[in-house]
Amino acid sequence: QIRLMESGGGSVQPGESLILSCTAPGYTYNNLCMGWFRQVPGKAREAIASIYTDGGSPYYADSVKGRFTISQDSAKNTVSLQMNNLTSEESAMYYCAADRTKTCASSGGSWWPPFWGQGTQVTVSS
Protein backbone atom coordinates (compact mmCIF):
# COMPACT_ATOMS: atom_id res chain seq x y z
CA GLN A 1 0.00 0.00 0.00
CA ILE A 2 1.30 3.46 -0.90
CA ARG A 3 -0.36 6.39 0.84
CA LEU A 4 -0.28 9.61 -1.14
CA MET A 5 -0.89 13.15 0.02
CA GLU A 6 -1.49 16.07 -2.32
CA SER A 7 -1.13 19.76 -1.57
CA GLY A 8 -1.14 23.04 -3.44
CA GLY A 9 -4.63 23.28 -4.84
CA GLY A 10 -6.61 26.47 -4.66
CA SER A 11 -8.26 29.24 -6.64
CA VAL A 12 -6.54 31.22 -9.36
CA GLN A 13 -7.58 33.41 -12.25
CA PRO A 14 -7.32 32.37 -15.90
CA GLY A 15 -3.77 32.66 -17.16
CA GLU A 16 -2.24 32.20 -13.73
CA SER A 17 -0.08 29.36 -12.43
CA LEU A 18 -0.27 26.83 -9.64
CA ILE A 19 2.02 24.11 -8.30
CA LEU A 20 0.69 20.83 -6.94
CA SER A 21 2.83 18.54 -4.82
CA CYS A 22 2.50 14.92 -3.84
CA THR A 23 4.32 13.04 -1.13
CA ALA A 24 4.29 9.41 -0.04
CA PRO A 25 5.15 9.44 3.66
CA GLY A 26 7.33 6.56 4.66
CA TYR A 27 7.80 5.31 1.10
CA THR A 28 11.00 5.64 -0.87
CA TYR A 29 10.64 7.19 -4.29
CA ASN A 30 12.36 4.66 -6.51
CA ASN A 31 11.17 2.21 -9.12
CA LEU A 32 7.76 3.87 -9.12
CA CYS A 33 5.52 5.51 -11.62
CA MET A 34 4.01 8.72 -10.29
CA GLY A 35 1.46 10.85 -12.00
CA TRP A 36 -1.36 13.32 -11.94
CA PHE A 37 -4.97 12.91 -13.00
CA ARG A 38 -7.86 15.31 -12.97
CA GLN A 39 -11.60 14.90 -12.91
CA VAL A 40 -14.39 17.33 -13.68
CA PRO A 41 -17.80 16.43 -12.19
CA GLY A 42 -19.70 14.26 -14.61
CA LYS A 43 -16.63 13.35 -16.64
CA ALA A 44 -14.09 10.56 -16.53
CA ARG A 45 -10.85 10.92 -14.63
CA GLU A 46 -8.03 11.57 -17.08
CA ALA A 47 -4.27 11.16 -16.88
CA ILE A 48 -2.51 14.43 -17.54
CA ALA A 49 1.12 13.72 -16.63
CA SER A 50 3.24 10.84 -15.41
CA ILE A 51 6.86 10.05 -14.76
CA TYR A 52 8.96 7.02 -13.88
CA THR A 53 11.12 7.85 -10.87
CA ASP A 54 14.21 6.09 -12.20
CA GLY A 55 14.38 7.87 -15.54
CA GLY A 56 12.86 8.24 -18.99
CA SER A 57 10.69 10.86 -20.59
CA PRO A 58 7.49 11.89 -18.88
CA TYR A 59 4.04 11.66 -20.41
CA TYR A 60 1.80 14.65 -20.93
CA ALA A 61 -1.73 14.74 -22.24
CA ASP A 62 -2.03 16.83 -25.39
CA SER A 63 -4.22 19.32 -23.55
CA VAL A 64 -1.42 20.27 -21.14
CA LYS A 65 1.73 19.91 -23.25
CA GLY A 66 3.88 23.00 -23.14
CA ARG A 67 2.06 24.39 -20.09
CA PHE A 68 2.40 21.73 -17.39
CA THR A 69 5.61 20.22 -16.08
CA ILE A 70 5.92 17.15 -13.86
CA SER A 71 9.05 16.85 -11.77
CA GLN A 72 10.38 14.89 -8.85
CA ASP A 73 12.58 15.58 -5.88
CA SER A 74 13.85 12.20 -4.74
CA ALA A 75 15.51 13.67 -1.66
CA LYS A 76 12.14 14.98 -0.49
CA ASN A 77 10.09 12.05 -1.86
CA THR A 78 7.97 14.57 -3.71
CA VAL A 79 6.48 14.75 -7.16
CA SER A 80 5.22 18.12 -8.33
CA LEU A 81 3.09 19.45 -11.15
CA GLN A 82 3.77 22.99 -12.31
CA MET A 83 0.69 24.28 -14.11
CA ASN A 84 0.96 27.45 -16.17
CA ASN A 85 -1.57 29.48 -18.12
CA LEU A 86 -4.53 27.75 -16.53
CA THR A 87 -7.96 28.02 -18.11
CA SER A 88 -11.39 27.90 -16.54
CA GLU A 89 -12.01 24.55 -18.25
CA GLU A 90 -9.23 23.11 -16.10
CA SER A 91 -11.13 23.60 -12.88
CA ALA A 92 -11.22 20.10 -11.48
CA MET A 93 -10.19 17.79 -8.69
CA TYR A 94 -6.57 16.84 -9.22
CA TYR A 95 -5.30 13.49 -7.99
CA CYS A 96 -1.82 12.15 -7.41
CA ALA A 97 -1.37 8.49 -8.24
CA ALA A 98 1.31 5.83 -8.03
CA ASP A 99 2.08 2.43 -9.42
CA ARG A 100 4.88 -0.10 -8.97
CA THR A 101 5.62 -0.21 -12.66
CA LYS A 102 7.96 1.32 -15.23
CA THR A 103 5.45 1.82 -18.01
CA CYS A 104 3.23 4.71 -16.97
CA ALA A 105 4.70 7.16 -19.47
CA SER A 106 4.52 4.71 -22.37
CA SER A 107 0.96 3.81 -21.40
CA GLY A 108 -0.03 7.45 -21.70
CA GLY A 109 -3.67 8.12 -21.12
CA SER A 110 -4.50 4.46 -20.61
CA TRP A 111 -2.44 4.17 -17.40
CA TRP A 112 -4.64 3.37 -14.44
CA PRO A 113 -2.65 3.04 -11.22
CA PRO A 114 -3.75 1.26 -8.05
CA PHE A 115 -2.74 3.92 -5.52
CA TRP A 116 -4.43 7.31 -5.23
CA GLY A 117 -4.39 10.41 -3.12
CA GLN A 118 -7.60 12.01 -1.92
CA GLY A 119 -7.35 14.83 -4.40
CA THR A 120 -6.92 18.57 -4.27
CA GLN A 121 -9.33 21.05 -5.81
CA VAL A 122 -8.16 23.53 -8.43
CA THR A 123 -10.56 26.30 -9.37
CA VAL A 124 -9.78 28.67 -12.23
CA SER A 125 -12.18 31.57 -12.34
CA SER A 126 -12.21 35.28 -12.93
pLDDT at position 43 is 94
Percentage of the residues of the chain whose pLDDT score is greater than 70: 100
| Alpha carbons 99 and 103: distance in angstroms, whole number | 9
**Cβ–Cβ under 8 Å, residues 34 and 45:** no
CA nearest to 72, candidates 94, 55, 91: 55
Res 108: pLDDT: 87
The predicted structure's pLDDT at residue 102: 86
pLDDT of residue 106: 85
Q: What is the tens place of the pLDDT at every residue in 7-35?
A: 999 999 999 999 999 998 888 778 899 99
> Does residue 93 have a pLDDT over 90?
yes
Please tell me the distance from the alpha carbon of residue 112 to that of residue 77, in angstroms, as a whole number: 21
In the beta sheet, which residues pair with residue 37?
A: 47, 95
Shortest CA distance to 34 belongs to which of 95, 119, 76?
Answer: 95
